[in-house]
Structure 1
Amino acid sequence: MAAVARRADVSHQTVSRVLNNHPSVRTSTRERVLQAMADLDYRPNRLARALVTSRSGLIGVVTSGSAKYGPTSTLMAVEEAARGAGYAASVTAVHDNDPEALATRMADTLLSFDSQAVEGVIVIAPRVSTVLALETISSRAPLLLIAAGVAPSSRFGVVSVDQSQGARAATAHLVAQGHTSIGHLAGPADWFDSRERYRGWVEELESAGLQPGPVWEGDWSADFGYDVGRRLVADPDRPTGIVASNDQMALGLLRAFGEAGVAVPGDVSVTGFDDIEGTAHFQPPLTTVRQDFAQLGEAAIASMLQMIEERTTPTGAVPLIPTELVVRASTGPARA
């Protein structure tokens, strides 16, 4: 910092203010300091800075390591939002099917984050087991969960996409098309997103005065959707509408129906969830629910920074990011 100050012909304090984005620094001075940093290849030492300021500029992020679309997109959005707020993200994947082993790995991860002097920890928690593993683990830094349908507590805050609202929108769209027999291709029961999408489907049907149709619990894969579709092609009582809990399972349904000559949407209307890349090119193009992951990441970082500054855990209403229904050719009026 002293070398940067000499090269930019400013004080050591001015360099510090530039590093901390202090608003009192004039634009011309800030640019001169930043140029001096670039010329000298200067990089702040976060750990040394933490010793002096008690602020590391680090946020720990725990992910399940899942390659599924939702968790991966959430991780990317959180990392980008953290960088935009001037923070670096230290990411660790924690996954284990054994509950005790998962709790141990989670405890080790939070201890490691404590040693890195992270200012806060964001846990991307798609599965119930992840939250259960956190129940008895302490953390020096404030905790924020990204998990649907989870209530905040004195130990952690929560933000989420409004998964239930998205499923309700897809279901309401089919009801408006005249469908009265609507099934649900659900995700795994231990995933929060799956639970909330199931809840939204049920609640929207009930509000329309309709009985829920059949439910198939899947594993998020196109293979599972294809297997269900092959069973349905020979079923004369199959529903005229199906709300799939993600786009991959919907893709499997579409392939099975297409191979058997079941018209979509003439015989069966299908909706998905996520709006993954390529859904507009499914055959037919898929009506689906789009999640705003960028907004989710920004909301998570905003909540995290509030917790860091106020040193409290918000226990009020959970910030819910709305979804958007994208209507395409896979849905249409119910057959007579």
Structure 2
Amino acid sequence: MLDVAARAGVSGQTVSRVVNGSPRVDPVTRARVEEAMAQLGYRPHRAARALRTGRTHTIGLVATTLATIGNSRMLQAVVDAATVRGYAVVVVTLDAASGIADAFARLRDQGVDGAIVLNEATAVVRDAVAPAGLALVVVDSPPDERFAVVQTDHAAGARAATEHLLGLGHAAVWHLAGPEGSFAAAERERGWRAALVEAGQQVPAPVRGDWTAASGHALAGALPSEATAVFAANDQMALGALRALADAGRRVPEDVSVVGFDDVTDAADYRPPLTTVRQDFDALGAAALAALVAAIEGDDQRPVLLPAPLVMRASTGPAPRA
């Protein structure tokens, strides 16, 4: 480390902070230290560092499932951000046989310094008692003094999607909602509802799916014939809706406009390319990891709210004339 410090022209403490993933290092200085480490072939010894610092530089990630696109993309984003900061990631999934207490116990057994809790699992952690000394960051949750919160502005994104459809002349916007118990689904429904109420338009009863394209297909197939605009709570349900509308002989966007949420990698290749709300999973992962490192170091953290911009493509158009 002294050789790295000399090569980079910094103190040994600065090198230590870079090695330990501290956010208290200027990006230019961090890059200079990392370049010196690469030139000298320096690699920290994880076990020795854990003995010296009392930290393993391993974090946990808790999720209900990794099968959904949102959760799998968040996992990738967290792993990428953790790798940059020199952290390893241990993943624990919840099922009917194991509760959040068991998940925390398993992470404790692996000696993690802290944990990130994803999406649907946040409803469980809010009702649980976190182990003392375990730093926690929760992705998608109301503010809570027990842990740091990082989230997408789901409500604002949903509002923008709904206002876009209303601005195209659609009298009502139908909502294919996400599952009950999901914070993200509830926030997206809230934004959709608020936009309709503010515009003085009718609020159709939302129909609830389970994030899958199959549920979007089933729900859209049951929409009334007068529905000309649909906001789906995620892109997968929007994909199912596109198929259902095609099956019924209804054209998108000439007869029905469709908007999704997430902007998954394939959204631009749907037929037609999907207008959707972008959720920046890379930024979410980086923000969650940064918040967790700060929590591990005992720093106070304010809630992080990331924007969710509307991405306009070809699946929306003016309301059809009567």
In the alignment, structure 1 residue 45 sits paired with structure 2 residue 37: no
Contact 1:247 1:274 in 2 (8 A): yes
Report if the CA contact (8 A) 1:213-1:239 is conserved.
no
Aligned partner (choices 246, 250, 253) of residue 241 of structure 2: 253
Q: Distance in 2 between matches of 1:303 and 1:21?
A: 16
| Letter matched to residue 303 of structure 1 | A
Paired residue secondary structure (1:273): strand
C-alpha displacement of 1:141: 2.5
Residues 190-240 of structure 1 show CA distances to partners (whole Å, capped at 9, x for unaligned) of: 2111111111111111111112113110011111121223333xx33x322
Q: 2:165 aligns with which of 160, 169, 174?
A: 174
Does residue 205 (structure 1) correspond to residue 190 (structure 2)? The answer is no
Separation of aligned partners in 1, 2:235 and 2:120: 17
- Alpha-carbon distance between aligned partners in 2 of 1:33 and 1:267, rounded to the nearest angstrom: 60
Q: Secondary structure at the match of 2:180?
A: coil
Q: 2:318 matched to which residue of 1?
A: 333
1:287 aligns with 2:275: yes
Give secondary structure in 2 for the equivalent of 1:271.
strand
Q: Which runs of 5+ in 2 are unaligned?
A: 20-24
CA deviation map 1:70-128 (0-9, x unaligned): 111111112212222x2313222221136xx3134223234224xx2x33222223245
Equivalent residue number for residue 126 of structure 1: 120
Matching residue within 108, 120, 123 for 1:111: 108
Cα distance in 1, alignment partners of residues 55 and 159 from structure 2: 43
- Mapping for residues 222-233 of structure 1, pairs under 5 Å: 222-232=213-223
TM value normalised by structure 1: 0.81
Q: Say if 1:221 and 1:248, in contact at 8 Å, map to a contact too.
A: yes
Which residue in 2 is equivalent to 1:161?
Answer: 152
CA RMSD of aligned residues (A): 3.2
Note if contact 2:117-2:137 (Cα within 8 Å) is conserved in structure 1. Answer: yes
**Is contact 1:71-1:126 (8 Å) kept?**
no
Contact 1:187 1:217 in 2 (8 A): yes
- State the structure with more CA Rg: 1
2:105 corresponds to 1:138: no
Whole-angstrom CA distance in 1 between matches of 2:82 and 2:69: 20
TM-score after normalising by structure 2: 0.85
Specify the alignment match of 2:22 in structure 1: none
Per the alignment, do residues 165 and 300 of structure 1 end up closer, same or farther by CA in structure 2, a change over 3 Å counting? same
Does residue 323 (structure 1) correspond to residue 304 (structure 2)? The answer is no
Shift of 1:284: 1.6
Shift, 1:243, TM fit: 0.5
- Structure 1 unmatched ranges of 5 or more: none
CA distance in 2, matches of 1:170, 1:208: 13
Deviation of residue 136 (structure 1)?
1.9
